[in-house]
Amino acid sequence: MISRHKQKPIVALVGRPNVGKSTLYNRLIGRRQAIVEDLPGTTRDRLYGEAEWAGHHFIVVDTGGIEPLKERGGQVVSASYDPLAAASKGFVAEIRSQAELAIEEADVIVFLVDAKEGLTAADEEVAAMLRQTDKPVILAANKADNAERRMNALEFYALGLGDPHPISAYHGTGTGDLLDVIVAHLPESPLEDEEDEEALRIAIVGRPNVGKSSLLNALLGQERAIVSDIAGTTRDAVDTHLTWDGQKIILVDSAGIRRRGRIERGIEKYSVMRALRAIGRADVVLLVLDATEGVTAQDAHIGGYILEEGRSLIIVVNKWDAIEKDTHTMAAYNKTLRQELKFLDYVPVLYVSALTRQRVNQIIPAALRVREQRELRIPTSELNRLVQDAVAANPPKAFKGRQARFYYVTQTSTNPPTFVFFVNDPRAVHFTYERYLENKIRERYPYEGTPIRLKFRGKAS
């Protein structure tokens, strides 16, 4: 039975430049970074991360600074224009668009100001923007490192956004109180309807303009979603119900980026925000790539998040019809793709064309196959024999003066498949040996397209 999923709310950090948004971001998600380590091959310049406070899990999104704009020489530039800084129209508009998109997508907004510098015209402009939204806005006065600055924070009442909460993101002062306020404003994350509990949820995600909506239409055999060559036509995630050989399927077309004038290159980073919601509700995720562009850092970025969320995954290389081919083209392309996405080596890859519907009919059967693998439970006796043979063939080497000894292993859950190893000392299990054990399990039970979790507990646990 497919378990129902909760959708994590999104908290966006906004404000003018240099008020400490990134420092606060690191402070908030740092609680989880100690648990979830970086995975080889994933992109590390993240703009989002997961935070947890008082049992509430939510996604934190960092944004670029919002600056006031002015005319200079026929161009729109920042009010703090410096000819040597090359503050071009495109650069200013890009950062502002990114922040506006974050505001639009967020469930809660934290507006950061600088208690050291005091109230500025830029703060007032950002506040005017935020007063137009119906989202909860929490005012945080950062750099309030002493009593005088905490008193100075009172002047931010003039922004008309309620109580300013004095904090020091660098030292952590006041951040606990701020988190209490944030979680108090988080929306409930309802479970999926019970009537859809048996349905397989397939999310379609990817960068803007890779053909997500076209792929949805091809899967349905009808024009269910608006298709356009303009990146960002789709606004909201649209659930589409269908039946495939008696199996209930729910397709979720995760929205691209809404067009706001001219879409600047950097704004594509925020396409992830739209994908986050769909990924959190899915059993299987289709990561759509553009064959004509190859694998980009943003593709790896989204793939890393899918892996962290424990969702099953199929890589769908769209626009394959636009590639000039010979007998070696697919093999060469696949080799490059695997090199770029090494951390997803267990994931199936389909080469399709939403335009011509080439191989599109293979997608749902592949998703059903991956779901079946995801739900596989290995008998405990067989699992222990497998691990005993693996350890005998390649005993673990001592790590930091500790020698790991394995006593017992059991599969505690599916969705995703999770295995708990009881050992004498979990600290003695090196990361490379953990990978070795995962590979040995996958040799016998491939778990195609599905991440598996290995946990190590001491004998007394």
Tell me, what DSSP letter sits at residue 3? P
Residue 452 identity:
I
Max Cα distance, the chain (Å):
76
**pLDDT at residue number 42:** 29
Tens of pLDDT, residue by residue over 99-142, are 676 777 789 999 999 999 899 988 898 898 888 888 999 999 99
Sign of CA dihedral 418, 419, 422, 428: negative
Global pTM?
Answer: 0.68
Contacts by residues 429-433 (CB-CB < 8 Å, ≥ 24 positions apart): 429/396, 429/399, 429/404, 429/456, 430/396, 430/397, 430/399, 433/396, 433/397, 433/399, 433/404
Helices 121-130 and 89-105: crossing angle, nearest 10°? Answer: 40
Tens of pLDDT, residue by residue over 366-412, are 999 999 999 999 999 999 999 999 999 999 998 888 889 999 999 99
Least confident range of 67-71, 103-107, 137-141, 357-361 = 67-71
Least confident range of 11-15, 130-134, 253-257, 411-415 = 253-257
| Residues forming a β-bridge with 458 | 423
To 5 degrees, how large is the angle CA 59–CA 61–CA 66? 155
- Helix or strand holding residue 202 (H, E): strand 200-206
Tens of pLDDT, residue by residue over 189-240, are 655 544 466 789 999 988 878 888 889 888 887 555 555 554 544 444 457 7
Tell me, what DSSP letter sits at residue 36? S
